[in-house]
Amino acid sequence: MPTFTFVARDQLGQLQEGTAEAENAQILARRLRERGLWVQKVDAGGASREEKKAKAPGVALAPSRRKKRFGRVKSDDLTMFCRQFSTLIHAGVSMVRCLAVLEQQAESPNLKRIVRDISYNVEGGETLTRSLAQFPHVFSNLFVGLVHAGEVGGVLDQSLDRLATFLEEDLKLRRQVKSAMTYPTIVMVLAITIVIGLVTFIVPKFIQLFKDFGVPMPGPTQFLIDCSNFLTNPVNDLVLIGTIVTLVFGINRLKATKTGKHYYDKLLLRVPVFGKLNHRVALARFSRTMSTLMTSGVPILQALETVAGAVDNAVLSNAILDARAAVREGERLGEPLERSRMFPPIVVQMISIGEETGSLDEMLAKVADFYEAEVEAMLRSLTAALEPILIVFLGGIVGFIVVAMFLPLVNIIIVMSK
């Protein structure tokens, strides 16, 4: 078995060197990490000739700095990462040791690999901000901006704590919306499945019975027969599926363009009931994100640019970017937001008061609390209203099918009784 020399750091950050036998360098590195060591380098000192050709001496086994694309990380894991990171920094633990502990604590394999790569970059002399910025699909501009403000101001633990709180509130809001939409979605899917099953398998049997008796078909029955003939035709099914797929693909392609995204989001804001809900969700995210950034000491121009990408609505994003341009020219933030007509008077007035009193972050936090409570109340009302509507809708469709099937039976009974 070949012998390798290695360089690693322990949990205290002290450098350790030694030799060990292993099947290959990767297995040795894994064993060292299981012992709580942070592997810096493994040399194939006593390796075989084939292994020396495959791996030259002195090649570090730390993650490659060119490979920055890992899988997604769940919001729960990211929130826990921030909370633990804040606690360790507040306790005075060194950055390298913090990252080593966070790698061991991470339950997500993707997050574990990302933290390992970040630790390698930090040990190489890069700042934490630049290391995080190399993973834009995991750490958003908001995340990186807050960490940068914490590093510059020497309050990284407080920035991470605020970031964890923000992620928890944002995740709570998303879950509320998702939970409210789950029940209507399930009912609609069941309704469509039941209708397709009845029209495809049950109705054709009755159609044959009616044809044998030769009775005239009432209007509702004829409509149902036409629907059944359409759905039981394989060509029509392929055309229908192809149309749906093309429509979904086209909408996604349209949303991928800047103009298409703008008109799509503008349409969403005008949809009855749901448009109002969508608007309030966007306002809550704007206020919460802006408050978190301002509290962490991020400059207002940089904060507005970050918030514009966080609201996830092109119409509001454009309004925020226009407001940023106006603020750069010397205007107060409330004035351009009021001109955009996308921000209600309460938001504009609270922002204006915050600017006058120097407590903009606190005012934005109150606005965020208000709109999050509004969203929660709207979701409860919407769920309570949708439940009976969907039940009546489903019952109406099934009732129509039953009535359409029994109308010809009445005609058959009348004919047979003569």
Which pLDDT score, from 0 to 100, does residue 108 have?
85
**Inter-residue contact 283 to 320 (CB < 8 Å):** no
Start-end of H helices in 140-218: 141-153, 156-197, 203-213
**pTM of the full predicted structure?**
0.65
Q: Which residues in the chain come in under a pLDDT of 50?
A: 46-67
Beta bridge partners of 190: none
70, amino acid identity: F
Strand, helix or coil for residue 38: strand
Nearest to 22 by CA among 49, 45, 53: 45
Domains and CATH numbers, the chain: 3-54 (no CATH), 75-167 (1.20.81.30), 182-418 (1.20.81.30)
**Count of C-beta atoms within a 10 Å radius of residue 366:** 14
**Inter-residue contact 16 to 9 (CB < 8 Å):** yes
Upper half-sphere CA count for residue 133 (Cβ side, 13 Å): 11
Which pLDDT score, from 0 to 100, does residue 412 have?
75
**Count of C-beta atoms within a 10 Å radius of residue 23:** 10
264, amino acid identity: Y
Which pLDDT score, from 0 to 100, does residue 49 have?
38
pLDDT digits (tens, 9 = 90+) for 373-389: 888 888 888 878 887 88
**Inter-residue contact 306 to 141 (CB < 8 Å):** yes
